[in-house]
Amino acid sequence: MSNRKRITENQNLIHDLAVAQASFLLANLAPAVSASIDRSLPIEAQRDQYYADLPGLTGRVIGVMNDLAADEQAMEDIMGMGLKIAEKRAMAET
């Protein structure tokens, strides 16, 4: 039997993946937050709203993701969707 830890037990890797995914999520939400800013406000107020709304929205999405992770049926559904995407990608590479 190997002494290697299972990937699900590698806390450093899990932390790094979580940071990477949160950063990717924030980057993907940025255009939507930017588009929602009231352009009639002074530029400083627009900037303040953007810097308040972007981490706020990101945190709320991560919170919902946490709730989904705690829901067994939701995780099964997410896994099914993820596996379909992975299969399509694998088929495209062949």
pTM beyond cutoff 0.95? no
pLDDT at 27: 98
* Short-list 30, 37, 36, 38, CA closest to 54: 30
Quickly list DSSP for 51-86: HHHHHHHHHHHHHHHHHHHT-HHHHHHHHHHHHHHH
Q: Where are the domains of the chain?
A: 8-93
What are the 10-residue block averages of pLDDT along the chain, 94 residues in total? 79 95 97 98 98 98 97 97 96 84
pLDDT at 3: 66
pLDDT at 26: 97
